[in-house]
Copies of this chain bind each other. A is one copy, B any other.
Amino acid sequence: MTATRTARERARAELTQEIKDEARRQLAEVGAHGLSLRAVARELGMVSSALYRYFPSRDRLLTDLIVDAYNAIGEAAEQADPGEGAPRERWLAIWRGTRDWARAHPHEYALIYGSPIPGYAAPQDTVVPAARVALALVKVLTHTELRDVDGEVAPELRAQAEALTKVLGIVAGPETVARLLMAWTQLFGAISFDLFGQYVGSVDPADAFFAHSARRMAEFVGL
């Protein structure tokens, strides 16, 4: 199968992309709640039913946008990583880059880190792209001298942590893995709280607090 086949296939691929682009545009304006297939079709000069040749349902379109968003924020995190230099600086850069993307695309962020949209959709298609930001953080820790962190780890968590080290192929004790997961949680918890207005009464411009959290969590994981 060559890269470009019949005119039909090319047209189909292009239109699929155009639909997603227009949907993303509307998503940024009215949010996931207000995204309307008919409005997307209208803007593209076609009729709503025609759109169903490309996406079987509104939820499927949203699911595709979700995967794209995961990849976009993951790429933002990877791009922010200088790739070399002081691990602490790399860690901070990834935190910054992730937050910056989220602030630039709040509705897309809400799509992936807010409430799950339908009954329950697509855990499988999203699990790989969803891990990209976390992997970027993990990558900083590999080939790096980690300060030893100690602490007891309950058996269940220890088992989960050891399974994770195998999957990730890193050398780190269970406590370090647990702290890494906490840092990951902290990163997105802070971004979500910031974007969703939870910091309003306390640290409203959350920039300083976010930078502080990034530093403290770097120390916390032993960096």
Residue ranges of A at the interface with B (Cβ–Cβ < 8 Å): 31-33, 110-111, 113-120, 123, 127, 130-131, 151, 153-154, 156-157, 160, 164, 178-179, 181-182, 185-186, 188-190, 192-193, 196-198, 200-205, 207-209, 211-213, 216-217, 220
Contact = CB atoms under 8 A, between A and B. Distances in A.
Contacts of A31: 115, 119
A196 B151 contact: no
B182 A186 contact: yes
Contact of A157 (B153, B188, B209): B209
A119 B110 CA distance: 13
Number of identical protomers: 2
A212 B115 contact: no
Nearest to A124: B200
B156 A213 contact: no
A116 B33 CA distance: 10
A151 B157 CA distance: 30
A220 to B, nearest CB: 7
Contacts of A32: 115
A217 B131 CA distance: 24
B196 A113 contact: yes
Contact of A151 (B179, B197, B202, B216): B216
A123 B200 contact: yes
B216 A127 contact: no
Given A114-B114, A115-B115, A156-B205, 19 more contacts: A33-B117, A33-B118, A115-B196, A123-B197, A123-B200, A127-B200, A127-B201, A130-B198, A154-B208, A160-B202, A160-B203, A160-B204, A178-B212, A178-B216, A181-B203, A182-B186, A185-B193, A192-B192, A220-B220
